[in-house]
């Protein structure tokens, strides 16, 4: 396993500015059209952002779309299908958007338009602007990486384990990429890639990462 001379792993965190897009939906058809037309930043906010704001907490619905179709439209079949979608399975927002649209199209083909949301319960499309900044910590060895994970905030863990998939453009994360490229540790990288990001709390996930890295929690 390489360490001397390896490129350091730099820990980052994020801050997010959320803004309304001015677009709303009262029906499943309007939700579909909004999903088709809003920016990628909006799709990110309502899927990955929903996870980020409830960091790794076990939650029945992993996206705002699933929660709204369940709680407001009470269309449980489409809500369940959206809920079973793991946004971390998709390496790009384009592919994630297309899959969401397909789920809604399938439901509309089965049932047609559903009852609209009551006044005041519309879906409001929002989007977020991400500000990325280093937290002042880096690692050159496996031991230093584990120490950084112990000290990392929930936002830092989310950035490197979840948001990384979109930046890298493949279903992996920053830790795995660094372990493979800089420490020549592909087995550890593969084990990290197998962690389930949706069913654990932040602290449970932290312990799982530390267990893979071989250090005490």
What band does 88 get if pLDDT is binned at 50, 70 and 90? confident
Q: How far is CA 5 from the centre of its chain?
A: 32
pLDDT for the residue numbered 150: 96
Mean pLDDT of the chain, nearest integer: 88
CA distance 204 to 21: 35
Distance CA 53, CA 68 (A): 16
pLDDT, tens digit, 9 for 90 and up, residues 128-167: 888 999 999 999 999 999 999 999 998 999 899 888 878 7
Confidence of residue 169 (pLDDT cuts 50, 70, 90): confident
Query: What's the predicted TM-score (pTM) here?
Result: 0.83
Long-range pairs of 65-74 with CB within 8 A, sequence gap ≥ 24 = 65/31, 65/35, 65/100, 65/123, 68/31, 68/123, 69/28, 69/31, 72/117, 72/118, 72/121, 72/123, 73/27, 73/28, 73/114, 73/115, 73/116, 73/117, 74/115
Q: What is the pLDDT of residue 89?
A: 84
| 178 has pLDDT over 60 | yes
- The per-residue DSSP string of 123-170 comes to EEEEEEEEEEEEEEEEESSHHHHHHHHHH--HHHHHIIIIIHHHHHTS
Is the pLDDT reported for residue 10 higher than 60? yes
Tens of pLDDT, residue by residue over 17-69, are 899 999 999 999 999 999 999 999 999 999 988 777 665 555 566 789 999 99
Cβ 78 vs Cβ 103: under 8 Å: yes
Please provide the DSSP assignment of 19-82 as one string: EEEEEEESSHHHHHHHHHHS-HHHHHHHTHHHHHHTTT---S-SSHHHHHHHHTS--HHHHHHH
């Amino acid at each position: 396993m390489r360490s001397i001379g390896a490129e350091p792993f730099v820990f980052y965190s994020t801050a997010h500015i959320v803004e309304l897009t001015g677009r709303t939906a009262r029906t499943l058809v309007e939700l579909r059209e909004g999903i088709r037309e809003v920016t990628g930043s909006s799709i990110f906010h309502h899927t990955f952002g929903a996870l980020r704001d409830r960091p790794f907490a076990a939650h029945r619905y992993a996206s705002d779309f699933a929660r709204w179709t369940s709680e407001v439209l009470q269309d449980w079949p489409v809500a369940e299908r959206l809920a079973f979608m793991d946004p971390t399975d998709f390496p790009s927002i384009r592919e994630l958007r297309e899959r969401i649209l397909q789920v809604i199209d399938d439901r509309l083909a089965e049932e047609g338009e559903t009852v609209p949301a009551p006044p005041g319960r519309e879906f409001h499309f929002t989007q977020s602007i991400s500000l990325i900044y280093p937290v002042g910590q880096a690692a050159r060895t496996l031991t230093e990486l584990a120490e950084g994970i112990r000290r990392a905030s929930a936002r830092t863990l989310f950035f490197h384990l979840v948001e990384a998939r979109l930046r890298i453009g493949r279903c992996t994360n920053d830790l795995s990429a660094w372990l493979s490229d800089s420490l020549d540790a592909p087995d550890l990288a593969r084990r990290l890639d197998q962690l389930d990001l949706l069913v654990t709390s932040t602290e449970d996930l932290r312990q799982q990462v530390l267990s893979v890295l071989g250090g005490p929690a």
